[in-house]
C-alpha cells in the first residue's frame, strides 16, 4: 500500500511538472535539472540513499544498545578472571575479594577522616619570623588590643631580638 501511494505521488508530481513545463515552455523553476523527470530521478535516488543511511544508523544504534546491555556478562568475566577462569568457583572467590576490597576502602576512609579531625583539632601554632642572622623565632602569641599595646609589644620584640 505504501508503494502504491509512493508511485501515485510520483506520477502526480511528474504530471504536474510536465504540465507546468508545457505551460511555461521551459523548465524555469527546476534549477540545475533539465527536466521534471531528471528532478524526479534525483529525488528518488536521494530518498533511497536516505533510507540506506537510516537503516545503517538503526543497525549501529542496536549494536551499541546490545553492547551496553550486557553488564552481567562482563561481571561474570571479571569473576572468572579473579578465580583463575573457573566459573564453578566464581561466587565464593568473588565474595572474598569483595570483602577484602570493602575492608581496604573502610580503612582508608577511617584514616582520612581521622587525619582531618586531628588537623581540625590541632591548635594553630604561631608563625615563625626570621630574625637577624637567619635564625627563626616564634611570633608572640599575644595580640595587641590597642595602638599603645601594639607599640609596647613591638618594642619588646625588637629588644629581645636585637
**What number is the average pLDDT over the span 15-34?**
65
CB under 8 Å to 139, separation ≥6 — which residues?
126, 127, 128, 129
Instruction: Clarify whether residues 49 and 105 are in a common domain.
Output: no
**What number is the average pLDDT over the span 18-39?**
71
Instruction: Clarify whether residues 88 and 50 are in a common domain.
Output: no
Segment 73-84, tens digit of pLDDT: 555 666 666 555
Instruction: Clarify whether residues 8 and 59 are in a common domain.
Output: yes
The domain of 156 spans: 128-160
* DSSP-derived pairing of the beta strands 128-130 and 136-138: antiparallel
pTM: 0.31
Residue 118: predicted pLDDT: 85
Instruction: Clarify whether residues 43 and 58 are in a common domain.
Output: yes
Q: Is the pLDDT confidence value at 69 over 60?
A: yes
Segment 44-56, tens digit of pLDDT: 999 999 999 999 9
The larger pLDDT score, comparing residue 91 to residue 43, is at 43
- CA end-to-end distance (rounded Å), the chain: 106
Number of domains in the chain: 3
Name the pLDDT band for 151 (thresholds 50, 70, 90): very high
φ/ψ of 38, rounded to 5, equals -65, -40
Q: Is the pLDDT confidence value at 128 over 70?
A: no
Instruction: Clarify whether residues 38 and 60 are in a common domain.
Output: yes
Instruction: Clarify whether residues 9 and 43 are in a common domain.
Output: yes
Amino acid at each position: 500500500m505504501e508503494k502504491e501511494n509512493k508511485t501515485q505521488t510520483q506520477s502526480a508530481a511528474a504530471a504536474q511538472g510536465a504540465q507546468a513545463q508545457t505551460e511555461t515552455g521551459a523548465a524555469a523553476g527546476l534549477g540545475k535539472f533539465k527536466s521534471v523527470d531528471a528532478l524526479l530521478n534525483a529525488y528518488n535516488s536521494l530518498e533511497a540513499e536516505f533510507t540506506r543511511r537510516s537503516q545503517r544508523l538503526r543497525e549501529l544504534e542496536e549494536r551499541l544498545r546490545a553492547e551496553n546491555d550486557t553488564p552481567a556478562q562482563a561481571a561474570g568475566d571479571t569473576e572468572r578472571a579473579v578465580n583463575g577462569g573457573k566459573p564453578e568457583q566464581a561466587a565464593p572467590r568473588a565474595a572474598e575479594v569483595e570483602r577484602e576490597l570493602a575492608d581496604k576502602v573502610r580503612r582508608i576512609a577511617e584514616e582520612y577522616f581521622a587525619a582531618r579531625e586531628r588537623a581540625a583539632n590541632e591548635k594553630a601554632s604561631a608563625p615563625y619570623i626570621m630574625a637577624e642572622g637567619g635564625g627563626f623565632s616564634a611570633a608572640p602569641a599575644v595580640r595587641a588590643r590597642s595602638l599603645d599595646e601594639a607599640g609596647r609589644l613591638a618594642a619588646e620584640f625588637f629588644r629581645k631580638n636585637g
